[in-house]
Amino acid sequence: MILGIGIDLVDLNRMEKLATKRFIDRILSDEEKEVYSKITAENVKLSYLGGRFAAKEAIFKAISKGTGFTNYTDFSILNQENGRPYVKTDYFKDQEIIHISITHTDQQAIAYVMIEKL
């Protein structure tokens, strides 16, 4: 059963202006910050941050109302060895699966999320 669907689009030019240490600490989990710190190319760092922000906004839209308060850092958007993103979280109590897709252009990052209950 599908519990929720969310999508978010981020303007990377706007994200570049927001990308302060405080913002990064508020958005990225410790695991994500570790990956972020190893990225050397500034445009790739910006795409990474924008993609993670879009993904978490899409997750929040998918869980919508009635699920309680949560923070951006409650969700880690990580990648499998093949590059496919997945969500690591302790937020859900039951058998929920979060399907996620993230894509980028030079100017935008988009994330789509579908939450399914088994």
Q: Which residues pair with 6 in a beta bridge?
A: 113
Active site residue 104: yes
Instruction: Choose the catalytic residue: 45, 93, 99, 104.
Output: 104
What is the rounded distance in angstroms from the CA atom of residue 58 to the CA atom of residue 51? 10
Q: How far is CA 30 from the centre of its chain?
A: 13
Active site residue 33: no
What is the rounded distance in angstroms from the CA atom of residue 16 to the CA atom of residue 10? 11
Instruction: Choose the catalytic residue: 33, 45, 61, 99.
Output: 61
Residues with a catalytic annotation lie at 61, 104
